[in-house]
Structure 1
Amino acid sequence: MTEFPDPSRFARVTDWVFDLDNTLYPHHTNLFSQIDVRMTAYVSELLQLSREDARKLQKELYKEYGTTLAGLIARHNIDSDDFLNKVHDIDYSWLSPDPALGDAIRTLPGRKFIFTNGDRGHAERAARQLGILDQFDDIFDIVAANLVPKPAQETYDKFLALHRVAGPNAVMFEDLARNLIVPKALGMQTVLVVPRNFEPTFSEIWERDPAYDDAVDYVTDDLADFLKRIAPGHS
């Protein structure tokens, strides 16, 4: 499912900004599920909770603070480096190289960034396994954001200021619509990446989350194909 984009709308884009998890790699790889399991284990060990209670608290923290990490820091003042190292100690062999995506990113004019609520090491390992790491100019991670996760306004402002990105000259790709609200307000083009063969129509997606429908310009379940369609010279 791809909403066919008008390439002319991307003609002025000079900065291409990509989320990592479930955006640059497909949702069905279950890579993030490994991280999710490790976060539950971390909460369980930290607070001596059963797995069931730990998972319930983990999701509560995620909803209230934007990330489990932010919640644990706010409530328990944990060591962020310890958390990030432990939850990202996962098996990246689940990811298959994606040469089509690498080629599509390579042909885009301008700079390319990974903008993630994970840490740089995780982003580098995942992108390297995909075979696309060399296509990016930089990675803006949760540490660069001073541990303040998307969708906080200050985190986007920090990213834009650091790399001198102008909203109207940028596009952001995300798998979470709420993380596109600020980019849209900043004048970016916004693209929601959904799981492959996603069944609901665009309108049905937003029936579940109507608060975010104005934040999304396009929806695609095939990022490489979408990028090829908006690349200069595509016909």
Structure 2
Amino acid sequence: MSSSIQKTEDVKRGDFAGIRDWVFDLDNTLYPRHSNLFSQIDQRMTLFVADFLSLPKDEARLLQKDFYRRHGTTLRGLMLEHDVDPDVFLQYVHDIDYSWLSPDPALGEVIAALPGRKFIFTNGDRRHAESAARQLGILENFEDIFDLVAADLVPKPAAETYDKFLARHEIDAPNAAMFEDLARNLEVPKRLGMRTVLIVPNNFEDTFGDVWEHEGHDGDHIDYVTDDLAKFLKGLT
């Protein structure tokens, strides 16, 4: 683990003293990666690509990941290169079993205790975010959900999408903090002046996900890294 990573117990509360808007990614951020919920979505995306483009599953998998890396989401790649209907895609890939998530009352308590407003900012759709947050028992703690549809189907890390989010909710970036599981999605928030916190799996296992997904986890655009969101937030309150 890089020496630049600040563990939960090293949080400087003063760094967050002026924060009034708290922005959370959803998948593998508000719920832990080890819940494996996103694996259901991931598998359904592969099946969608395979069926839509009449490809063997292994080829569809490679193409899905290529879209994800080059365009920010698999959907964005399918839209740009194959004119897919986004509503059909989103409905299909989010038809999953949310009971895989365990309610997290401790997380709900610390989110509720944060001063100011709280938002979910996701590359998924609102229905998915609401379903996951409701299963966790934390949905009522959020002011609003800014989803891929609100972003006009342009996903993070596109700068224009952060601009739309901030403008819609009249957020002053230097008074906001963002929590994400992908380091690349924190580059723009940091440039805008937001506090940035990277959420990683327990003990920061380097083998999680695709290698490129955690490239830059020790970059200057990351203020803090934690593998326990609830504990980190409790340290601020």
Q: Is TM-score (shorter-chain normalized) higher than 0.5?
A: yes
Q: Give the structure 1 partner of residue 16 of structure 2.
A: 10
Residue 67 of structure 1 deviates from its aligned partner by 0.5
> Does 2:187 correspond to 1:156?
no
Mapped pair 1:103 → 2:103: no
SS at match of 2:22: strand
One of 35, 40, 46 as aligned partner of 1:34? 40
Q: Which residue of 1 aligns with 2:53?
A: 47
1:215 CA displacement: 1.1
User: How far 1:9 sits from its partner (Å)?
Assistant: 1.1
TM value normalised by structure 1: 0.93
1:129 aligns with 2:129: no
Number of equivalent positions:
226
Q: CA deviation at 1:187?
A: 0.3
Structure 2 residue 230 is matched with structure 1 residue 224: yes
Instruction: Tell me by how many angstroms 1:209 deviates.
Output: 2.6
The separation in 2 between residues aligned to 1:132 and 1:25, in whole angstroms, is 10
User: Residue 185 of structure 2 is aligned with which of 179, 187, 192?
Assistant: 179
AA aligned opposite 2:170: R
Is the CA contact (8 Å cut-off) linking 1:181 and 1:212 kept in structure 2?
no
Q: Distance in 2 between matches of 1:210 and 1:134?
A: 33
Amino acid at match of 1:225: K
Residue 197 of structure 1 and its aligned partner are, at CA, apart by 2.5
> Equivalents in 1 of 2:113, 2:71: separation in Å?
37
Is residue 94 from structure 1 mapped to residue 94 from structure 2 by the alignment? Answer: no
TM-score by length of 2: 0.92
Question: 3-state SS of the aligned residue for 1:16?
Answer: strand
- The answer to whether the aligner puts 1:71 opposite 2:77 as a matched pair is yes
Question: 4+ residue runs of structure 1 moved beyond 6 angstroms?
Answer: none
Shift of 1:211: 8.2
Structure-2 separation of matches of 1:171 and 1:66: 21
Q: Which moved more, 1:122-131 or 1:212-221?
A: 212-221
Q: Which runs of 5+ in 2 are unaligned?
A: 1-6
RMSD: 1.6
Identify the residue that residue 194 of structure 1 maps to in structure 2: 200
Percentage of matched positions with identical amino acids:
66
Query: Hey, what's the Cα distance between the residues in 2 that align with 1:84 and 1:211?
Result: 29
Contact kept in structure 2, 1:95 and 1:129, CA below 8 Å: yes
Gaps of 5+ in 1: none
